[in-house]
Structure 1
């Protein structure tokens, strides 16, 4: 019997840091979650309070929303996952039941291979996230670092990278406000990283189930069995094809269940992400064109990079599932079905007919996760950016 949690040990460590590991919800974890969520929500609200104290011009609204929407994305991730934490536990438990039925050594090797892929993705994205967060903090402190290296006699006021209104003297309480905003950003990045890598690992294991289904079909139709047709081998072939179909259906069921439970979150992320990317592209282009506040270019560039990377990873996962499902039917096409008994050929024909409808992961029936979907999101964001730029 396989213990499913051992395959998600890295994800467990990441989720424990933000209090959202499904199998361990102590009072301390709940307090940590409430504390972190409070920091995220307050950091978001104090950006919108600037509308009460400043004149709301078009450029001002764009500047506030371009940063605030990033924090809204953080809050969406954090809250929706917490609401569905029991659903996540149930999905992992169902995957455990599937793995309990796997006895073949080759199938176990397939599971280990896809588990290694999931860990590689987790480690890579963790390194990228840490570097991105570190780069943003350095960009905010760059002017202070320059002042230490090349001191000047003129004192310069502290300037926050994000427009906020705390209704206090921001010059006096600059350090506290700076720590609050950066703590919220780091918590948000940690939440996106932890939740995103858990989904990546889960879907990688689903891809492994599709691969096992392909392996079972090839094993059922191996040449040495087909060349020695007898009633016993007929039953063996049919039973192994049945096992391949069962695990294939389980893989589709688990992936569809994940998409259906989190489709509200995914829909909100798509809408907010496209608008955020458009506004950040506009801000980046405007600063690069006018040459104002050049130190903000790195901050905006990192935010744009994070948005595009997240869109790509999410859509790549959907495309990867579709490709693995298609590979199952490619395996059916390539086996020597013509050597099989007539009853087996009829089963093969039925399997081929199932391939007439492509398996995809859709969000509310409006968006399909694929590389084409990624291109659509980026194209839509660029289109909105050009509209905003043309009407400024």
Structure 2
């Protein structure tokens, strides 16, 4: 059994090495669930929960003002999205394993060189997104950590007889200890929670992204198979053999199209509740952080007060737009299949093949979308609508505070 698992890991590894590394870091790689990994999951999950709790404890010792409530809740909601996504992927470990296996299985079943190149192209898109997002998170983390450790860096480079004061902490927390004395321990807790959460969001997001890109590649292969099948119509030699090749090619195209739709639905069906929760929390969190940004700009332009809300809004925006863009690509690739069917010289095919083509064209009347629980259709248009809704909530909140 161990050898079977090992073979599965080796089989999947070459396609998405960076994705495997990210999943291994946070203990979500489904082919290696040892006792050590289970301990890792418990520790990481505990760090996220305790950091959220120590933000909420500020309501115990601080005077509850509107600004404090907005600052704490906006930060707590952001870190709650980490916990929701982490918990969802832990509980759906089997479906993650199934998706990764199917990613590799689809590649292994392809024999046509052009079809293999199509899948490779879409895998390259996933790798580029993963690399860019990883570099972006590393750069932001490096800047924030450098800011927090700046006094220590200056003490090493430019030592003085006087101790330099600690920089102001960017998040409101209450640990019921002397925060000046235990500043670096508190900071270490915050850094650990942020690094774990950021890696979780990146790794899980890239898994879903890889699945959607794979589905796009499968739709493109379906279009390619339709084109290849109908090019046989240009040849008048051996009509019976030609007809059989056309019919067989269309069957393969329909089969790939069906698999693409099924795979796209599989990659979101078990995560519908999670995604709907993320969307709802994201809109509320963005609204509160819009208020924090506007408040910081309007009253003194305090850079330290701007850093975290700007990062929170930027993270929600990037995550929403990448996910919505991929969902939009799914819709367009599905439409491209039927545009291809309509554009080829199907009228030169035999009558029984023409009937099959008409059946395909009729299927195009039903739009295929990434639908989350029949409540939200993921697309760029609806992503803009969510941003508009978040801004509307912000304006209502600001008008009530005035």
| Bin of the TM-score, shorter chain as denominator length | over 0.9
Alignment of 1:106-125 (within 5 A): 106-125=114-133
SS at match of 2:172: coil
TM-score (ref. length: structure 2): 0.91
Q: CA deviation at 1:151?
A: 7.7
- Residue 39 of structure 1 corresponds to 47
Q: CA deviation at 1:142?
A: 5.8
Quickly say closer, same or farther: Cα 1:51–1:213, change in 2 above 3 A: same
C-alpha RMSD of the superposition: 2.3
Aligned: 1:258 with 2:271: no
SS at match of 1:37: helix
Aligned length: 392
1:226–1:340 CA contact under 8 A, matched in 2: no
SS at match of 1:166: coil
Q: Deviations over 1:151-193 (max 9, x none)?
A: 8979756632111111222122111011101110111001111
- Residue 360 of structure 1 corresponds to 369
- Residue 185 of structure 1 corresponds to 194
Q: Deviations over 1:316-339 (max 9, x none)?
A: 110111111111111111100111
Aligned: 1:322 with 2:334: no
Determine which of 213, 217, 220 is the counterpart of 1:204.
213
TM-score (ref. length: structure 1): 0.94
Aligned: 1:51 with 2:64: no
- Residue 320 of structure 2 corresponds to 311
Quickly say closer, same or farther: Cα 1:161–1:144, change in 2 above 3 A: farther
Aligned: 1:274 with 2:276: no
SS at match of 1:295: helix
* Unmatched tracts of structure 2, length 5 or more: 1-7
- Residue 172 of structure 1 corresponds to 181
Rounded to whole Å, the distance in 1 between the matches of 2:37 and 2:16 is 18
Aligned: 1:296 with 2:305: yes
Q: CA deviation at 1:110?
A: 1.1
Q: CA deviation at 1:100?
A: 3.6
- Residue 102 of structure 1 corresponds to 110
Q: CA deviation at 1:226?
A: 5.1
Aligned: 1:371 with 2:351: no
- Residue 194 of structure 1 corresponds to 203
Q: CA deviation at 1:141?
A: 4.8
1:225–1:233 CA contact under 8 A, matched in 2: no
Determine which of 6, 13, 29 is the counterpart of 2:21.
13
Rounded to whole Å, the distance in 1 between the matches of 2:120 and 2:292 is 45
- Residue 3 of structure 2 corresponds to none
Q: CA deviation at 1:257?
A: 1.1
2:134–2:202 CA contact under 8 A, matched in 1: yes
- Residue 230 of structure 1 corresponds to 239
* Unmatched tracts of structure 1, length 5 or more: none
1:78–1:191 CA contact under 8 A, matched in 2: yes
